Amino acid sequence: MSISLAVFLAFVASTLAITYWAAKRSRGASAYFAAGRRITAWQNGFAVAGDFMSAASFLGLIGLIALQGFDGILYSVGGFVAFVTILLVVAEPLRNTGKYTMGDVLAYRLRPRPVRALAALSTLTVAAFYMIAQMVGAGALVNLLLADSGITYNMAVVGVGILMMIYVVFGGMLATTWVQIIKAMLLSACTLVLTILVLAQFHFHLIDFFSAVSQIAYHQKGELIVRDFLQPGLRYRPPHGPLDLVSLGLIFAFGTAGLPHILVKFYTVPDAKTARHSVVWAMVLIGAFYVMTTVLGLGAAVILGPDSVLAHGGTNMAGPRLAQALAGDVFLAFVSAVAFATILAVVAGLMISASTSFAHDFWTNVVHHGVERKTDESVLVARIAALTVGVISILIAIALGPTANVLILATFGLAVAASANFPALALSIFWRRFTTAGAVAGMAAGLLATIALIVVGPTAMGIDLPSTTGAARHLIQAKPWFPLENVGIVSVPLGFLGAIVGSLISREPSAEARFDEVIVRANTGLGAETAAIH
Amino acid sequence: MEASAGETPRHEQTTSDWSRIAASEEFKDLIALKKTFIVPAFLVFFSYYLSLALLVGCAPKLASLRVIGTVNVAYIFALSQFAVGWIIAGLYLLASSKFDRLTKDILARIDTDRGGK
């Protein structure tokens, strides 16, 4: 048995033990969906960090920086700054007014059925994009690591899928949270060790390290060129470069604050103050992590070289291969096991937020008008939903195979969250005139605009040389209609515009009358959901 | 305790109670105080963050200017985003202890009002 398999099995065994422990403690809806609202600030900070630092960040980001230098670093910055928005705008009002989902906050003032139906739809869309990214990451890892142990891509995807279903179906939010806490600790430690190893190559002389970064040689179109990897422009070039960059900035600044699997974590703490402190904990961990990814990405460019990154395993494998180059196969095994743990933790978080939204928003409140016919029926529905979503995502991941950069895939999910979820969420907390029509128009406009622009943009459309085959080929062989890879600069304003215009042309006195209740609840926590008593 | 997973049960307040609290001086003070921190903090953070994208996109020459060794303006500006984020978070924690105190007063007042009825 290989070392990576052993490390991975040890992680799996401990998470299954946690799941067993959580399943025994978990009784009722509040326990299943929100861990009884008894998670402490540091625990939730680690869990949020564990939920957010995905395979996309760890695997995709290092590869992106290794190939595109500074332009990849912009993704590191974006991942962190997003939490300022969450801290200042979203976390506390959300904790004070909601119960399990974003739909709860909207349903306070607005007509519950239409807004919950759309909130559930966009939640499932965001989760789907993220889930595909994680599964592709899992498959790519297996291709690199466990090929000689006889485990194939398909077996790995099925394995990851089954494990995450066990966590979510049996352990609920409590098990998911603890899996994420352990993963955040492992990933932070692993990133720190890798960073130290990279800098040790330069005897901790940062000037020498960056001097090496400024002369990276690689092949482009058959020619050997030398570039300074701190110089911008390797990914985003004129004429559309600035627009693409602002676009990327927008979806990071707003998108993370609309990610369902992040929002749901603020319901697991006892009150708004704890939610606030947990965001700051998360910011410390996530900030340190992303600063270190810049060193790791540039380090991979220096130590492995862009040519080698492309030739062996592609962008997603730059991090694990860097570990192998620096400290041999044992460390490669450890880093890969941590990357696997990362995927499991994030997929479990996505799964529980998607199944919660389906059960709570769609099943209980849209289909059954908010009346639960049997005790804890919503928990049963959520479990069935988790199983269904799990099976479907396994099938999609197998159909796709290990392909595109997982970070780019995850960015699409972020674009939907920024354009559909964030405008509706922010306006329902801050704008008295917001109406049901506005929420529906805003979420629909944001969702449709994002998907449509991605489909007609340069990611899906393009003309390839006949020699390009497989995953590198564009989906639609035609000149892209929309020039930008990042659609946020159009889709985020459209989401807001839809919400504002929809509100202004409709009248909903009940929504206006309820605004006082929303701001009092959001700002004082009066009448907020309380922690379960044991 | 939570019995149903359906709509959150109405708190004992009625619509007019909520409006009375919303119109009270204490509550207005709390909102005004929060706004004087949160709005400027968000605007500072957001414009600082967008200016990184604008600098890199619109003034690549300036962004590539080397400052320390081969380290350029762009990378230092990018790292400074982390510092700004952490500073804003720290200031918010300091400011929020005052928000918490005012909130506690408001909640205490509601309790005594209800007790007096």
Task: Provide DSSP, A429-484.
Answer: HH-TT--HHHHHHHHHHHHHHHHHHHHTSTTTB----TT--GGGS-SB-S--SS--
| Contact (Cβ atoms closer than 8 angstroms) between residue A301 and residue A231 | no
Q: Tell me whether residues B21 and A83 touch, CB distance under 8 A.
A: no
pLDDT above 50 (res A198): yes
C-alpha A144: how far from chain center: 23
State the CATH architecture for A3-200+236-524: Up-down Bundle (1.20)
Higher pLDDT, A236 or A126: A126
Domain boundaries, chain B: 29-116
* Structure confidence at residue A246 (pLDDT): 85
Higher pLDDT, A431 or A12: A431
Closest Cβ–Cβ partner in B12, B45, B70 for A228 = B70
C-alpha count within 13 angstroms, C-beta hemisphere, residue A404: 18
Higher pLDDT, A288 or B112: A288
pLDDT digits (tens, 9 = 90+) for A117-147: 888 888 888 888 788 778 777 777 776 666 6
Mean pLDDT of A493-506: 93
Mean pLDDT of A19-29: 78
Predicted confidence band at B9 (pLDDT cuts at 50, 70, 90)? Answer: very low
Task: Retrieve residue A484's tokens.
Answer: 């930008």
Of the candidates A23, A20, A19, A25, the residue with the CA atom closest to the CA atom of residue A534: A25
pLDDT above 80 (res A16): yes
Report angle CA A470, A122, A153 to the nearest 5 degrees.
30
Q: Collapse the DSSP code of A376 into the 3-class scheme (helix H, G, I; strand E, B; otherwise coil) and give the result.
A: coil
* Structure confidence at residue A215 (pLDDT): 84
Instruction: Name the A residues in 497-526 with CB < 8 Å from any B CB.
Output: 513-514, 516-517, 519-521, 523-526
| Contact (Cβ atoms closer than 8 angstroms) between residue A109 and residue A511 | yes
Q: What percentage of residues in chain B have a pLDDT greater than 70?
A: 85
- The number of residues in chain A equals 534
Q: For the ranges A208-217, A357-366, A455-464, B4-13, which has the lowest average pLDDT? A: B4-13
pLDDT digits (tens, 9 = 90+) for A266-302: 988 988 899 999 999 999 999 999 999 999 999 999 9
Cα torsion A169, A171, A172, A178 to 10°: value is -140
pLDDT digits (tens, 9 = 90+) for A356-392: 878 777 777 777 776 666 667 777 887 887 788 778 7
A-interface mutation test, from B29, B49, B62, B105, most A Cβ less than 10 A away: B49
Mean pLDDT of A470-487: 73
Mean pLDDT of A37-66: 86
| Dihedrals phi, psi of A461, to nearest 5 degrees | -110, 140
* Structure confidence at residue B8 (pLDDT): 41
Under DSSP, the state recorded for A28 is: S
Distances, alpha carbon B103 to alpha carbons A164, A173, A330, A432, B117, in Å: 40, 30, 54, 21, 22
Outline where A26-169 has alpha helix (H).
29-34, 41-52, 55, 62-68, 70-85, 91-97, 102-109, 112-145, 153-166
Residues of chain B in contact with residue A287, where contact means CB-CB under 8 angstroms, are: 82, 85-86
* Structure confidence at residue A87 (pLDDT): 93
Single pTM value for the model: 0.88
The mean pLDDT value of chain B amounts to: 83
CA–CA dist B1, A86 (Å, integer): 28
Closest Cβ–Cβ partner in A108, A364, A520 for B6 = A364
pLDDT digits (tens, 9 = 90+) for B19-49: 888 888 888 889 999 999 999 999 999 999 9
Mean pLDDT of A230-244: 76
Assembly ipTM: 0.87
Query: How far B32 CA lies from chain A's nearest CA (Å)?
Result: 12
CA–CA dist A10, A13 (Å, integer): 5
Distances, alpha carbon A384 to alpha carbons A292, A369, A377, B13, B46, in Å: 40, 20, 11, 37, 41
Domain boundaries, chain A: 3-200+236-524
